[in-house]
Amino acid sequence: MRVLFLAWRDVEHPEAGGSERYVQAIAESLIARGHEVTVRSARPRGLPRRDTINGVAHERAGGRLGVFPRGFLRAMREERSTALVDVINGVPFAAGFLPGRSVVALVHHVHKTQWKLIYPGPKGHLGWFLESWLAPRSARRHRVVTVSEASRRDLVQLGYRDERITVVRNSAPGPCQRDAGPAKDPMRLVVLARLVPHKQVHHALLTVQQLAPGFPALTLDVVGDGWSRSALEAMARDLGIDERVNFHGQVTEAEKERVLDHAALMLMPSAKEGWGLVVTEAGQHAVPSIGYRSSGGLKESIRDGVTGWLVDSLEELVLTTASALRDPAEVSRRGHAAKAYAAELEGSDRVGEFETVLRSEFTGRRR
């Protein structure tokens, strides 16, 4: 089968996150099963128009907005025998409107909260219209994949047909094979995130600021980059915690894993997650996470009371972090449970589940 993914960004885009890594992993696994796969996405400055990443063909054209009409036209030129995957990160490519085509919509999560945070005003209203009105209609006759039951419920509320939605959960690749790292620092917190408003990394900074007097050795590693970085660095200085916070920026996989080897706890204050891949990555290193229940997908990537903690407010985030720091034995227990859960997810046949959806859509179009 030939498969064309239409995506806003690819895995090498400077703003790539969990959705892009999910698509790349699925694409690589489909190729391993004998399929021909291409990922079509935007072309940021410095990246070639055509590329091959771990066997996956990549095409890039268009910018932040131009990628969508270009992607739609690219899909129009494809043969009808090609299975199209419309990766909907808020804005759809609307491939589902192409007549007689096999189309699967891939939606990590609904962005309602993010539109208000990132684009207050008319831009945000337009984005929410495209996501809440256009996207469900473009996918109405087709199958849909999402990564959590929480996202599934959100999609049904938007008008997606529940019987056409399949949950194919996220998982992280295994850690790099190397010598074991040093012992964990019980006073070391970590955040893995793109530094953008809806990730709410400032909640982690406020947590450190409030806990610092009672925990003199407390530190925070912030791994990731984004347009909010300079504002967050300024905030750390204003809060008087800049010597406790290390902004690493974008790092290699090996560097990221070294940070996780040292960390005791991960803070996940994101406003919205489809799953929260970084929770699973932290779990691979026996690092439990504290996240917001209201984010959606974290209710599934974090097993509350087992692999981490779910909280309902910034105040509760601060109190729960303090309680965990005072109980390293409990942190260790939940960390080992998080590692077992990550291994369970890694062993799941998600590509088989995704392939089944593709074949079902392909067969259904040809009846």
Q: How many residues does the chain have?
A: 367
pLDDT tens-digit series, residues 125-134: 999 999 999 9
Strand-pairing partners, residue 39, are: 5, 58
Residue with the two structure tokens 């690219």:
74
The verdict on residue 180 lying in a domain is: no
Phi, psi of 80 (to 5 degrees): -65, -15
End-to-end C-alpha distance for the chain, whole angstroms: 17
The verdict on residue 154 lying in a domain is: yes
The answer, yes or no, to whether residue 163 has pLDDT greater than 70, is yes
Helix (H) or strand (E) run with residue 222 in it: strand 219-223
pLDDT tens-digit series, residues 245-262: 999 999 998 999 999 999
The verdict on residue 176 lying in a domain is: no
The answer, yes or no, to whether residue 367 has pLDDT greater than 50, is no
Distance CA 334, CA 317 (A): 17
Percent of the chain past pLDDT 70, that is, above it, reads 95
Distance CA 80, CA 253 (A): 38
Looking at the structure of the chain, the number of domains it has is 2
On whether both 20 and 94 belong to a single domain, the answer is yes
CB atoms within 10 A of CB 116: 17
Predicted confidence at residue 289, as pLDDT, reads: 98
The answer, yes or no, to whether residue 214 has pLDDT greater than 80, is yes
Predicted confidence at residue 364, as pLDDT, reads: 65
Q: What is the CATH number of the domain that holds 232?
A: 3.40.50.2000
The stretch 22-26 carries a mean pLDDT of: 94
pLDDT tens-digit series, residues 62-90: 998 999 999 999 999 998 889 999 999 99
Predicted confidence at residue 346, as pLDDT, reads: 81
Distance CA 137, CA 295 (A): 25
On whether both 165 and 207 belong to a single domain, the answer is no
Predicted confidence at residue 366, as pLDDT, reads: 52
The verdict on residue 155 lying in a domain is: yes
The verdict on residue 280 lying in a domain is: yes
Please give the model's pTM, rounded to 2 decimal places: 0.84
Distance CA 270, CA 360 (A): 34
On whether both 156 and 66 belong to a single domain, the answer is yes
Range of the domain at 338: 188-346
The stretch 301-317 carries a mean pLDDT of: 98
